[in-house]
């Protein structure tokens, strides 16, 4: 048995959006985790090693180890943190507000991010001979399509505040900020998305968000 | 204001995995919803109409309307049903069990299904000239990769029971059954996935699952 007070361990990679989400959530809740770095490019991708796949058979980051339990999938990990450490809350109290926040998060975490995952881009290159320009078009296409819908959902709803939902950061903001990071990395023009930009910029006034950015990680470079 | 006792409305398409999940969840909880059919192929895709996009700007099914609230994203909808109608529960009681069930669900709902979505297959055809054989290889590749990990997570964990987690159906089973339907539709050999097959077959002994199958829907055909 693991001792109850052992620090959590987060398997992370600086540039992984999904790991970035969990880093923000840990910071917002003031929780400490020891970071274990899994380099997704070096050595042909350390996530493919037998050693890492014994932790997460899916070979994806992040994974969080807490009290001997290995947790995978960023949104499931964040819901777990919410249930085990409820303060400050990352979901609103009312069921329809919670559904809205989860839907905004899933629009990003299900419908944009996995389609642009490294494993997908590699397949496009290998199977369809997609060159860098074609892969970049792909990457931008799914972000822009997703952001068009996200912008409407944010700008057209009075529940949107300084953050995606009201005046406190939620799971939706935790997903939005890493996705905007990716959008900028691929030089997407964010002018058509003023609500997304405004919320992103507001999030980055908080240390919990800035401490989690890729460039601040010990494995960055 | 909508009257409090108005029936829920589910925007659905018989072959949509995500709508199929919500149909199962409604059935498991014994909830009635009036089905509104959105044909994803006819008329160039009824999900793209202005009328439907006024309901869901993302132009995807399902959407659930309850008490005047429009809910989108299948997992967010099911969590909402779980919070508003807790019996029978679709998530276990303990936080680590809940995290496991959500992670299994998200392995399917984030990492397999969106990558094989119709909009993705259309892009492959249009931008990369992928013919039907190439699109089918793509489709099978992501299911097999995901099922390899899912099979390990199911077969290697004592928490797996007759269902993905214990002896009652959960959110994980709700995602598994529609994904197996897709796998069979694309003639994937399921012999390497005995735990997935066993759980799938067990789910289909329940009327809540069989009533939700694509072929039983009024819009099938």
Residue range A180-208, pLDDT digits in tens: 999 999 999 999 999 999 999 999 999 99
pLDDT at B141 > cutoff 90: yes
* Backbone φ and ψ of B70, nearest 5°: -95, 120
**Would you put residue A187 in left (φ > 0), alpha (ψ -120 to 50) or beta?**
left
User: What phi, psi does B66 have (nearest 5°)?
Assistant: -140, 125
For residue A2, the model assigns a pLDDT of 44
A2 reaches B (C-beta below 8 A): no
For chain A, give the percent of residues with pLDDT over 70.
98
Q: Helix, strand, or coil here: B119?
A: helix
Tell whether B96 is within 8 A of chain A (Cβ): yes
CB within 8 Å: B153 and A115: no
| Residues A195 and A155: beta-carbon distance below 8 Å | yes
Task: Show residues of chain A in contact with B105, CB under 8 Å.
Answer: 76
Bridge partners of B33, per DSSP, are B8
Of A84, A98, A110, the CB nearest to B95: A84
* Of A37-46, A85-94, B136-145, the least confident: A37-46
Beta strands in B15-81 (DSSP E): 33-37, 63-66, 69-72
Is the complex ipTM higher than 0.90? yes
In three-state secondary structure terms, B218 is coil
pLDDT band at B49 (very low <50, low <70, confident <90, very high): very high
Length of chain B: 221
The answer on pLDDT for A5 being more than 80 is no
Provide the pairing of β-strand B69-72 with B63-66: antiparallel
- Cis check: omega of the bond before B88, within 30 degrees of 0: yes
Per-window interface: A 12-71 vs B, CB < 8 A = 57-60, 66-67, 69, 71
Residue A210, classified by CB atoms within 10 Å of its CB into exposed (0-12), middle (13-18) or buried (19+), is middle
8 Å CB contact between B110 and A114: yes
Residue B141, burial from CB neighbour count under 10 angstroms (0-12, 13-18, 19+): middle
Q: Which of B205, B109, B118 is nearest to B150 (CA)?
A: B109
Q: Could you read off the pLDDT of A62-117 as tens digits, one per residue? A: 999 999 999 999 999 999 999 999 999 999 999 999 999 999 999 999 999 999 99
- pLDDT tens, position by position, B5-46: 689 999 999 999 999 999 999 999 999 999 999 999 998 899
- Cα separation, A82 vs A63, in Å, equals 16
Per-residue burial over B99-138, b if 16 or more Cβ lie within 10 Å, else e, is: bbbbbbbbbbbbbbbbbbbebbbebbeeebebeeeebeeb
- Angle, vertex CA B160, rays to CA B157 and CA B166, nearest 5: 140
Domains in chain B with CATH codes = 8-88 (3.40.30.10), 95-209 (1.20.1050.10)
pLDDT recorded at residue A3: 47
């Amino acid at each position: 048995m693991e001792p109850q007070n052992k620090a959590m361990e987060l398997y992370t990679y600086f540039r992984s959006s999904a790991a970035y989400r969990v880093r923000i959530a840990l910071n917002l809740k003031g929780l400490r985790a020891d970071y274990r770095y899994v380099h997704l490019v070096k050595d042909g991708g350390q996530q493919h090693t037998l050693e890492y796949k014994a932790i997460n058979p899916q070979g994806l980051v992040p994974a969080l180890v807490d009290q001997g339990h290995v947790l995978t999938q960023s949104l499931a990990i964040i819901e777990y943190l919410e249930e085990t450490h409820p303060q400050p809350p990352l979901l609103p109290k009312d069921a329809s507000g919670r559904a809205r926040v989860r839907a905004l998060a899933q629009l990003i975490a299900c419908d944009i991010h996995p389609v642009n995952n490294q494993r997908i881009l590699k397949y496009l290159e290998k199977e369809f001979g997609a060159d860098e320009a074609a892969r970049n078009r792909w990457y931008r296409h799914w972000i822009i399509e997703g952001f068009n819908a996200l912008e409407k959902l944010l700008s057209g709803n009075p529940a949107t505040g300084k953050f995606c939902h009201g005046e406190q950061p939620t799971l939706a903001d935790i997903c939005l900020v890493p996705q905007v990071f990716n959008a900028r990395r691929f030089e997407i023009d964010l002018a058509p998305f003023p609500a997304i930009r405004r919320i992103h910029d507001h999030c980055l006034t908080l240390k919990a968000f800035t401490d989690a950015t890729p460039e601040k990680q010990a494995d960055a470079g």
